[in-house]
Copies of this chain bind each other. A is one copy, B any other.
Amino acid sequence: MSEKPIFSYVQPEEKTGYLLWQVTMRWQLQMNQQLRSVGITLTQFSLMAGLYWLGQQGEVVTQQRLADYANTDKMMTSKVLQTLERKGMVERFSHRQDGRAKQLQLTLSGKTLLRQANAVVEQVDAAFFGPVQSNAVLLNQLLCRLMQ
């Protein structure tokens, strides 16, 4: 006498959410493994990239602004930026108008590192998405719709 099965007959790995998760973990792993050669993590890269980008737009970038832009929470952002400051990639000054805020700035070594890291990221991305290159635009659209 067997119990009622918990799952339907679909195997877990056939579920879209699970697949999405697995694929992303693999992408993230490859990124971090390759980025290791330049001494940076994916998260650190994405924050530095965000900082650079906002800076290019002429913005005065605070930690909260960067966190909003990168969709990271401010606590994590604070910690990673402390790490990046310790590594000499980022400087944090106190904000002129707002006494609470920290104004962020990439250092010269930071920009150099960012440039090196970006080359790695581009290369891993190309290799990873090679198998679906013809459908890249489509995949992009679907993902965009999931972000609203």
Residues of B within 8 A of A21 (CB): 24, 27-28, 42
Alpha-carbon separation in the docked complex, A65 to B101 (Å): 50
Q: Mark A1-24, 1 if CB is under 8 A from B, else 0.
A: 001011100011011111111111
Given contacts A131-B146, A147-B26, contact A6 B71 (CB under 8 A): no
Whether A46 is near chain B, meaning CB under 8 Å from some CB there, is yes
Whether A125 is near chain B, meaning CB under 8 Å from some CB there, is yes
In the complex this chain forms, how many copies of it are found?
Answer: 2
Within A114-148, which residues are at the interface with B (CB < 8 Å)? 114-115, 118, 121, 124-125, 128-129, 131-132, 135-136, 138-140, 142-148
Given contacts A12-B50, A118-B7, A142-B135, contact A129 B17 (CB under 8 A): yes
Whether A25 is near chain B, meaning CB under 8 Å from some CB there, is yes
Whether A92 is near chain B, meaning CB under 8 Å from some CB there, is no
Residues of B within 8 A of A97 (CB): none
In the assembled complex, the CB of A7 is this many whole angstroms from the nearest CB of chain B, namely 7
Alpha-carbon separation in the docked complex, A121 to B21 (Å): 13
